[in-house]
A and B are shown apart, each in its own frame.
Chain A
Amino acid sequence: DIVMTQSPLSLPVTPGEPASIYCRSSQSLLHSNGDNYLDWYVQKPGQSPQLLIYLGSNRASGVPDRISGSGSGTDFTLRISRVAADDVGVYYCMHALQTPFTFGQGTKLEIK
């Protein structure tokens, strides 16, 4: 199975400041079709997870452009250019290259 490793696990951020979350996979997520099968999700307090970024760098519907995804192969980054109070939650990366799909441990973003 592919192992997904996130860092940091806890991320305190001042509002208006940028934030980055890293995700590393134990094998390349680059498919022969050119897409990286890596998604990002956020679970806000009391809510179900919701999709932020799919196939490495594509924003899901309704996601603001201050949130972006990048990376290829085994190393990926989720960036929030200016953190807002509404961004509080646990962020997960997940690979969708093959079954079983696996998630990272989660990164808890909190406001300082």
Chain B
Amino acid sequence: EVQLVESGGGLVQAGRSLRLSCEASGFTFHDHAMHWVRQDPGRGLEWVAAINWNSGFKAYVDSVKGRFTISRDNAKNSLYLQMNSLRPEDTALYYCVKDMGTSGWYAFDMWGQGTRVTVSS
């Protein structure tokens, strides 16, 4: 069974850091690009960051550039999101997402249950 399990969310003050983790199972992790997507009831779904299979290409939404870093460890079947200088507007449910693609990306075919991040001002 394909599974993505996120962890690392919590309540944090503005300006502090959090590191989200996602453990993948049930598929060949290193064959797929991966993403983080967040959901805030007030703003719907927002793609946050992407990484290709070998970490050779990474991309971010403008609002997190310079503050968030996506990374992966294929030996551990794990995806990470280091979030620094957190802001109240980063408050959301963060999903770990598997892409159907490998080097590129085109569809998100598996989503985790999400980990909640709350940033207080």
Contacts and interface: CB of A to CB of B under 8 A. Distances in A.
22 contacts: A41-B108, A48-B111, A48-B112, A48-B113, A50-B111, A51-B107, A51-B108, A51-B109, A55-B106, A55-B107, A60-B109, A92-B44, A92-B45, A96-B105, A96-B106, A99-B50, A100-B47, A100-B59, A100-B60, A100-B62, A101-B50, A105-B44
A22 interface: no
Interface of B: 44-47, 50, 59-62, 95, 100, 105-114
Interface residues of A, number: 22
A contact patch SS: loop
A105 B62 CA distance: 19
Contacts of B111: 48-50
A51 B109 CA distance: 5
Nearest to A39: B107
B30 to A, nearest CB: 21
A37 interface: yes
B44 A54 contact: no
B81 to A, nearest CB: 15
Contacts of B108: 39, 41, 49, 51, 94
A16 to B, nearest CB: 29
A54 B113 contact: no
A51 B35 CA distance: 14
